[in-house]
């Protein structure tokens, strides 16, 4: 099927270099491959096959192309003994892969025609694919964009994560409340993954540490584990655009070292015989097990160690397999820690180098310093992980000893910088002293890593000035910025094909690997004909989402309304509750004056609340109960609709981003590290209503703040307000409209027969101090929405702003982010296939 010699490098005579297929595969060849897989792999035939079978057959046909390219890539990297980056992340929010892989192979149209000839629709076939449940929010989606860009740019890289059986959870609503169910995304297998039993790793836990004297009189530590797990790797090919590189995402599945006890079984213990198997498999069962209990904390620490231990052992296995020796380890291996979750990889590498390989501590530590880099994703204290010393001592006794030694040596450095200053020592120490001694994982990362990066300019500056000011003084070149980005292959070409085709015609097809090319469309922003085509595409996308909303929720909305969308993790700092009280304000105005002049508005939400996060769940409940009332109130003449779409995930996001008119990016200034949803919305022609927070600031610089709806306190103003003292009651009593909508929540208007069922929202904003300053920003937020209403009425002006938002997004390409990492952190070379 595949002609390996048919890799083309031709340039068209158009004004720009045109992307041409890297693989020679005709419609007939693709069609035959699909039929072959249907017959020979799935053992069925056309008349019996349902769409799920056709999806599997198509995936297997595509795999013929992918696996060959994967093999070629691995041969190339192995033969050249390349330096590679190993990207460790607890989340990889991959979404569906069929459409993405076909686009990156530049064979989407070929597959579409092949299936059409077989009486099938590729878009319907793609809908059969379950999302890979390997992540939750922006952290995991960023990781997915990054490994796509690494492959597209031709850099050697491996993503390492966990092969979750159920991911986070599948979300549904019952009487407005979130219900969590297992997300069995791979119940019947996954055609994209390959099991690699030859690369199994064994992971010790518990036990005790012994000091042993060897035959030369030298002492060393031996960890006698009380339990062992087996890590089974599953590889998912990651194909770069143009198929010039196919890297892998390696996911670890936990199993018992001895899965079945025959003696117990034969003695009649039929259930007990599989106890160890069940316990072991729990480790990779779900993403982020609830850690509100001691048992949950222990499981979560074990989960993180399991993934890190497997990954570090695998990295070293590949290093030694190439015939390398320890002095060049840092020349061949780079490890990026995506947030604090993989921090335990640091003492694990030290343990292996010092205890098992018997390297001197100073030499081993010098390697670690050069190998590890750390990405900080948050300023929120609760998100900077800490583990109790007691838990470490129980689960990972040797790692605790190593952390103590790292800390002892580090505090000697602190003493040299700040002699006798015990306050600074206490603040910077990896071990936090207190009623319960804790290990600070973020501090361990900063002490070890040669580079620590924030993910947007303002966030990186706050990391230096607010989060780690003393570390920045101690290590003045260590803390840097790498602004996040998104892959345009998935977030425009694949999810918004009509707009992608318009850009193909306007700026040339190579924008997909050079997003700055979209700026060539900026002169068209005021062109009437271009505006019409752009906004016609937007409306078509809205019509498609209208149908999805109806199918998922039964709610009917109009594509002529403003689609105002907030889709992100449910957390109070992201301020879905601010959005809610503004919606209540509009509803109150409509009830008081049914002729109130406003453009019809549909407010759309998508988010999951962590199972143990009470207030996040209450916000979901409040939004759903308000939606029930508003959506069925005939008095307001459909001017206002609210829809909370269940089970938000990548495949649903791919329908929502292209249909959005307004992108809600309303976090409290200084708390959103970057955001990437803001970039996806703008790239697809939505206008941002947002605070000057995270990447919104850099977006305003690129787009022009006048083409966004900026509101609220700045980072400096937030600090000033909190310094002088913030009292939410001042805003409550001084704004009658605000007071009225908050008091509404105490009634049973939205929850008949249950007065006060929504009062938690009001209490959080008043009695509990409104930590995220919703009331301080409320009036400004309402004004921004008034401006949205006014601007939307001017169709030509709105179209111009939408085009300017989209065409100015070149900076926010994950390819650019990766090039920044390569230049400033990883120092890789490209090795694309010829």
676 catalytic per annotation: yes
Residue 550 annotated as catalytic:
no
Q: What is the DSSP string of 95-150?
A: B--HHHHHHHTT-HHHHHHHHHHTT--HHHHHTTPPPB----SHHHHHHHHHHHHH
Length of the chain: 834
643 Cβ neighbours under 8 A, 6+ residues apart = 549, 553, 555, 557, 602, 603, 604, 605, 627, 631
- 569 classed as catalytic: yes
Task: Spot the catalytic one: 96, 255, 377, 538.
Answer: 377
For β-strands 227-239 and 219-224, DSSP reports them as: unpaired
Q: Are 781 and 638 in contact (CB under 8 A)?
A: no
Q: Is 41 an active-site residue?
A: no
Out of 568, 601, 707, 816, the active site residue is: 568
**Do residues 440 and 384 make contact, with C-beta atoms less than 8 angstroms apart?**
yes
Catalytic, out of 459, 569, 601, 617: 569
Q: How is residue 764 written in tokens?
A: 């959080």
Task: Please identify which of the residues 676, 688, 691, 751 carries the catalytic annotation.
Answer: 676
The backbone torsions φ and ψ at residue 503, rounded to the nearest 5 degrees and listed phi first, read -70, -35
Q: Which residues pair with 333 in a beta bridge?
A: 84
Q: Do strands 208-213 and 662-665 pair parallel, antiparallel, or not at all (unpaired)?
A: unpaired
The structure tokens listed for 363 are 């030499």
For residue 606, the 8-state DSSP code is E
In the annotation, is 568 catalytic?
yes
Catalytic residue among 493, 574, 641, 785: 574
Greatest CA separation for the chain:
92
Task: Name the token pair of 18.
Answer: 């045109």
Nearest to 63 by CA among 109, 145, 2: 2
| Nearest one of 278, 281, 333 to 166, comparing CA atoms | 281
DSSP 709-763: EE-S--HHHHHHHHHH---HHHHHHH-HHHHHHHHHTTSSSSSTT-TTTTHHHHH
Partner residues linked to 543 by β-bridges: none
* Structural Rg of the chain based on CA atoms: 27
Contacts of 102 (CB under 8 A, 6+ apart): 62, 108, 111
The span from the CA of 745 to the CA of 755, in Å, is 8
d(CA 636, CA 587): 8
DSSP-derived letter for residue 450 is: S
Mention every residue, 6+ apart, whose C-beta is less than 8 A from residue 626.
Answer: 580, 583, 584, 587, 642, 750
Which pair of structure tokens corresponds to residue 724? Answer: 């002088």
Cα–Cα distance between 132 and 125 in angstroms, integer?
16
The active-site residue, picked from 575, 680, 707, 785, is 680
User: What phi and psi values does residue 627 have, to the nearest 5 degrees?
Assistant: -60, -45
Task: Write out the catalytic residue numbers.
Answer: 377, 568-569, 574, 676, 680
């Amino acid at each position: 099927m595949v002609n390996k010699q048919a890799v083309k490098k031709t340039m068209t005579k158009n004004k720009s270099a045109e992307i041409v297929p890297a693989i020679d595969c005709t419609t007939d060849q693709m069609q035959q491959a699909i039929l072959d897989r249907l017959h020979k792999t799935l053992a069925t035939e056309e008349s019996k096959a349902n769409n799920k079978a056709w999806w599997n057959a198509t995936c297997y046909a595509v795999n013929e192309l992918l696996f060959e390219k994967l093999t070629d890539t691995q041969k190339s990297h192995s033969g050249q003994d390349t330096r590679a980056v190993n990207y460790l992340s607890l989340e990889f929010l991959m979404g569906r892969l069929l459409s993405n892989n076909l686009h990156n192979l530049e064979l989407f149209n070929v597959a579409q025609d092949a299936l059409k000839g077989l009486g099938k629709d590729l878009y319907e076939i793609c809908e059969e694919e379950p999302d890979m449940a390997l992540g939750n929010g922006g952290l995991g989606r960023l990781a997915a964009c990054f490994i796509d860009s690494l492959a597209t740019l031709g850099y050697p890289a491996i993503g390492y994560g966990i092969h979750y059986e159920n991911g986070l959870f599948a979300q549904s609503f019952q009487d407005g409340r979130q219900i969590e169910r297992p997300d069995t995304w791979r119940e019947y297998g996954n055609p994209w993954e390959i099991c690699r039993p030859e690369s199994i790793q064994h992971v010790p836990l518990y036990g005790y540490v012994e000091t042993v004297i060897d035959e030369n009189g030298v002492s060393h530590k031996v960890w006698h584990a009380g339990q062992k797990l087996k890590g089974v790797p599953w590889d998912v090919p990651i194909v770069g655009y143009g198929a010039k590189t196919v890297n892998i995402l390696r996911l670890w599945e936990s199993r018992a070292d001895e899965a079945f006890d025959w003696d117990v079984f034969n003695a009649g213990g039929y259930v007990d015989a599989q106890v160890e198997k069940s316990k072991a498999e729990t480790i990779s069962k779900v993403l982020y097990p609830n850690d509100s209990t001691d048992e949950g904390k222990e499981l979560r620490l074990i989960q993180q160690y399991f993934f890190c231990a497997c990954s570090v052992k695998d990295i070293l296995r590949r290093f030694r397999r190439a015939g390398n020796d320890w002095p060049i380890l840092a020349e061949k291996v780079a490890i990026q820690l995506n947030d604090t979750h993989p921090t335990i990889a640091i003492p694990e590498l030290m343990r292996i180098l010092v205890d098992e390989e018997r390297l001197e501590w100073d030499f081993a530590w010098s390697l670690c310093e050069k190998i590890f880099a750390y990405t900080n994703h948050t300023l929120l204290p609760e998100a900077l992980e800490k583990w109790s010393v007691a838990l470490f001592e129980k689960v990972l006794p040797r790692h605790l000893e190593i952390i103590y030694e790292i800390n002892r040596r580090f505090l000697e450095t602190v003493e040299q910088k700040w002699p006798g200053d015990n306050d600074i020592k206490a603040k910077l120490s990896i071990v936090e002293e207190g009623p319960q001694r804790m290990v600070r994982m973020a501090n361990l990362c900063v002490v070890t890593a040669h580079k620590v990066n924030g993910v947007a300019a303002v966030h990186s500056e706050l990391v230096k000035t607010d989060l780690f000011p003393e570390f920045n003084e101690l290590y003045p070149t260590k803390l840097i910025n790498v602004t996040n980005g998104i892959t345009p292959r998935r977030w425009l070409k694949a999810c918004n094909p009509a707009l992608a085709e318009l850009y193909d015609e306007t700026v040339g097809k190579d924008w997909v690997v050079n997003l700055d090319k979209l700026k060539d469309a900026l002169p068209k922003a005021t062109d009437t004909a271009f505006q019409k085509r752009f906004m016609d595409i937007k409306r078509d996308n809205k019509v498609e989402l209208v149908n999805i909303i109806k199918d998922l929720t039964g709610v009917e909305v109009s594509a002529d309304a403003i689609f105002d969308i907030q889709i992100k993790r449910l957390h109070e700092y992201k301020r879905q509750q601010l959005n809610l009280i503004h919606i209540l304000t509009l509803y109150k105005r409509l009830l008081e004056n049914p002729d109130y002049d406003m453009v019809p508005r549909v407010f759309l939400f998508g988010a999951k609340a962590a199972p143990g996060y009470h207030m996040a769940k209450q916000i979901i409940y409040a939004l759903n109960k308000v939606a029930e009332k508003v959506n069925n109130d005939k008095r307001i003449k459909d001017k206002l609709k609210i829809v909370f779409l269940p089970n938000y995930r990548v495949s649903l996001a791919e329908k929502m981003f292209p249909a959005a008119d307004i992108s809600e990016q309303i976090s409290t200034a200084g708390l959103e590290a970057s955001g990437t949803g803001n970039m996806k919305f703008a790239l697809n022609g939505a206008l941002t209503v947002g605070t000057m927070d995270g990447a919104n600031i850099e977006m305003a610089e690129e787009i022009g703040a006048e083409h966004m709806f900026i509101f609220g306190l700045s980072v400096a103003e937030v600090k000033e307000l909190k310094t002088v003292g913030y009292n939410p009651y001042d805003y409550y009593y001084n704004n009658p409209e605000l007071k009225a909508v908050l008091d509404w929540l105490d009634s049973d208007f939205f929850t008949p027969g249950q007065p006060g069922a929504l009062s938690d929202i009001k209490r959080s904003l008043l009695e509990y101090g409104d930590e995220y300053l919703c009331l301080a920003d409320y009036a400004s937020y309402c004004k921004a929405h008034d401006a949205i209403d006014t601007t939307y009425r001017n169709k030509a002006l709105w179209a111009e702003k939408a085009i300017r938002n989209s065409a100015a997004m070149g900076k926010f390409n994950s390819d650019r982010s990766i090039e920044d990492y390569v230049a400033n952190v990883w120092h890789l070379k490209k090795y694309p296939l010829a």
